Chains A and B, each alone.
Chain A
Amino acid sequence: MNPPVFVAGLGVVSAIGLDAAACLHSFETEEAGMADIKILHTRQRGKLPVAEVKLSNEALAELTGLSSGMPRTALLSALAAREALADAGIFNFKDLRAGFISANTVGGMDKTEDFFESFMMNAAAGKLRDVVYHECGSITEIVADHLGINHFISTVSTACSSSANAVFTGARMIRHGLLDLALVGGADALTRFTLNGFNTLMILDKSFCKPFDEHRQGLNLGEGAGYLVLVSEEIMNRLNKSAYCRIAGYSNANDAYHQTASSPGGTGSFLAMKNALENSGLVPGDIDYINLHGTGTNNNDIAEGTAIKLLFDPVYPKMSSTKSFTGHTLGASGGMEAVFSALAIRHGIIYPNLRFETPMKELPFTPVTKFLNHQRVKHVISNSFGFGGNCTSLVFSAS
């Protein structure tokens, strides 16, 4: 029997809110976070909608106490990480073996872009302070040092499944008795690099995305951060509060089909969900809600949908893609959606999948389209699938 791992606190920042309460309010009022680009300096302004966190770096710096010269991903990360720790009632790490396991996909790329503009003209030009945080691990260290966590720190980067892998890494380390507490999740800010990269793949919807719709046209990129405070049973009992839920299980599998595309049969997605259920000791019928990866691309949604059909047919749980609110936040998405999954269990709610109109002809099920209260939500699967075939599913259960 695996020792239980509890979710003791959570924090999230996204285009639909600067904290968990604000995000919940946006879900309830069905207000999506996508809009024209206002913060990112890019020539794609006015051409592509994105889901930006509506604060400048200066404003984020003021909220977090970090310098505004830090990469935006570190600012977002610090904001959500601090909320998660405060929510858990953790104010220091004395006598705790604490770990910070965070994910991101491009480190301090926003600053590297600025550096390269000068560096390309003259190899002796460009401010070194703009390139010193280029590595993904630097972002984690800025925030770990800010929070005072040094016992164990790590950074995961597996494209769009990055922070789901960070979440289960922390859970496993607690299960193995290596940590008492793990702050887990991820962050990613929008950068010109990622926006233009996804644009070359021709998978960005020029309108607001429509996950799991027959007429879906692609994804909208977003930015944000999401973290959970995971603790052992012993620490949970000490905290004098009730847990949001437990992490019941997880699985990571590889599609091994193509560097960017998912296999039509959703092999990796199927294995991730099936093995996560087994790891949790649950059967498909136990699941009340699936927080879909649901990017809105033609390829992802058919692969994920086919895998769900294979695993759940004929009885489907409720499901939705919260990316219809937050956009696809890449390395942050698994952490943010883990937060939303924990909140769904705590409050008995199901989030709507916005802008869904026409069922996909290949699939016998449809996502939830209205915000639902007073639901029985005991077990949730959260899916995160990425480039490189990296597929991860997390299972959260009421504690």
Chain B
Amino acid sequence: MQVYIRSSGNISPQHSLEKDLFFAHREMQDGNRWHAVEPEYSRYVDSKMIRRMSRIVRMGVAASKACLDEAEVRMPSGIVTGTAYGCLEDTGIFLRRMIDNQEELLTPTAFIQSTHNTVGAQIALLLKCHGYNNTIVHRGFSFENALMDAMLLLREGMDNVLAGAIDEITEDSHAILSRFGLYIPAIDNPEITAKTHKGSVAGEGASFFLLSSQEIHGARAILRGISTIYKPESLAGVESRIHAFLKESSVLSDGIGLVLSGANGDGDHDEIDNYLSATAFRNKTIVPFKQLCGEYPTASGFALWLAVLLISEQKTPDWLPNVSFPLRNILIHNHYDNNHHALYLISAC
């Protein structure tokens, strides 16, 4: 089924919360940990509340508020949130204290804020939204399965469902994931996909969308469909799923004006991306979006935000050339470690 994206709100290592800033300037960060560009939160949330919120909750609440404000909708009917890692900062705080203090003299705040549904719950609490509320925590499918849940709600007759995803990097998570070899040890160029590395760059961010089943005036884009592939058996298997996905969506491959690819610069990771650029995406304009947001399990939220922006504005920043207009259809192909593949088809309204 297709749904309408009425609005979006995004916090990422780019200036994605403010369109003008995003078009004007590409943020280039040093090192292999790209921090989200955080806004002046008091523009989105009451200052007293902000102080009590952890960083991931602030990012989630601000991105969701920006999304609702853009559509001028005060109250969504339902809220679905995806997160692979959940509230790592508070989890780490409670875990460290528990070990340091040998399970004595602990306080509840960090534990309370550590549960995976904290962001979704805080959004509901601030809005006083008693509607449907769910949190999906499935690694590289966290955002996709949250979107799918939202699309089912729309099919069941609900309108204005807020769906999004969020993940944060912390000192601990970056240190641990670095030991798994996920990140380029010494990085000389933020164009991470320009050459092949061992590892990629850590990213983080919050992406929220307001979805509707009806075409509402001012809707920004149409989400024609999403599809996921778990642990594909072969490169060719992914290629044939892409053809099947486009066929189901009744869009010819020729009609795809842009592919946003999840290549992240890691040689092993990008094997499939290189294969696809020579097969399914041959002669297509391909933009690897992770050179803007870094790698994290819900990075596809950033890709969808970027797709919605390009297709609704019908223009691209000067620093992101090679995208041609008019642009009717964008295909996103993301994958996380070749285990979780996701396809999205976005069309102009």
Which residues of A are at the interface with B, using a C-beta cutoff of 8 A?
Answer: 42-44, 105, 112-113, 116-117, 119-120, 123-124, 128, 131-132, 134-138, 140-141, 144-145, 150-159, 165, 169, 172-173, 176, 192-193, 196-197, 199-201, 252-260, 267-268, 271, 386-390
Contact = CB atoms under 8 A, between A and B. Distances in A.
B139 A388 contact: no
B121 A254 contact: yes
Nearest to B128: A256
Given A169-B149, A254-B130, A390-B133, 20 more contacts: A43-B104, A112-B95, A120-B96, A120-B99, A128-B180, A137-B141, A153-B138, A154-B145, A155-B138, A158-B116, A158-B120, A165-B134, A197-B111, A200-B108, A200-B111, A253-B131, A254-B124, A254-B132, A271-B130, A387-B117
14 contacts: A42-B103, A120-B99, A124-B179, A137-B137, A155-B136, A156-B135, A156-B136, A196-B98, A252-B133, A253-B130, A256-B127, A259-B121, A388-B133, A390-B134
B106 A196 contact: yes
Tell which of B98, B107, B137, B176 has the most Cβ of chain A within 10 Å. Answer: B137
Contacts of A153: 138, 141, 230
A132 B113 CA distance: 23
Given A42-B103, A116-B99, A173-B152, A390 B121 contact: yes
Of residues A119, A152, A157, A172, which shows the largest number of chain B Cβ atoms within 10 Å of its Cβ? A157
Nearest to B175: A123
A300 to B, nearest CB: 15
A165 B145 CA distance: 13
A220 to B, nearest CB: 18
A150 B231 contact: yes
A136 B152 contact: no
Interface string B151-178: 0100110000000000000001001100
A138 B139 contact: yes
Contacts of A137: 84, 137-139, 141-142
A193 B112 contact: no
Nearest to B83: A157
Contacts of A390: 117, 121, 133-135
A259 B113 contact: yes
B102 interface: yes
Given A156-B136, A253-B132, A197 B103 contact: no
Q: Which 4 pairs across A and B sit closest by C-beta, in order of nearness? A: A388-B121, A197-B111, A137-B139, A157-B116
Contacts of A259: 112-113, 118, 121-122, 125
A254 B131 contact: yes
A148 B81 CA distance: 27
Contacts of B117: 157-159, 386-388, 390
A109 B36 CA distance: 26
Contacts of B72: none
A323 to B, nearest CB: 19
B310 to A, nearest CB: 29
Given A116-B95, A259-B125, A197 B141 contact: no
A285 to B, nearest CB: 25
Nearest to A260: B112
Contacts, number: 174
Contacts of A152: 228, 230
A38 B121 CA distance: 35
B94 interface: yes
B94 A197 contact: yes
Interface in B272-300: none
B275 to A, nearest CB: 21
Contacts of B102: 43
A135 B121 contact: no
B108 A197 contact: yes
A256 B124 contact: yes
Given A128-B180, A193-B98, A387-B117, A158 B103 contact: no
Contacts of B155: 176
Contacts of A267: 130
Contact of A113 (B95, B137, B175): B95
Interface string B61-102: 000000000000000000100001110000100111011101
- Among A112, A124, A268, A387, max chain B CB count under 10 A is at A387
B137 A157 contact: yes
B138 A140 contact: yes
A44 B121 CA distance: 30
Contacts of A386: 117
B176 to A, nearest CB: 6
A86 to B, nearest CB: 23
B130 A105 contact: no
B114 interface: yes
Nearest to B96: A120
B247 to A, nearest CB: 18
Most buried by A among B113, B133, B152: B133
A201 B141 contact: no
A134 B106 CA distance: 22
Contacts of A255: 130
B138 A254 contact: no
A141 B104 CA distance: 34
Interface centre among B96, B100, B115, B125, by most A CB within 10 Å? B115
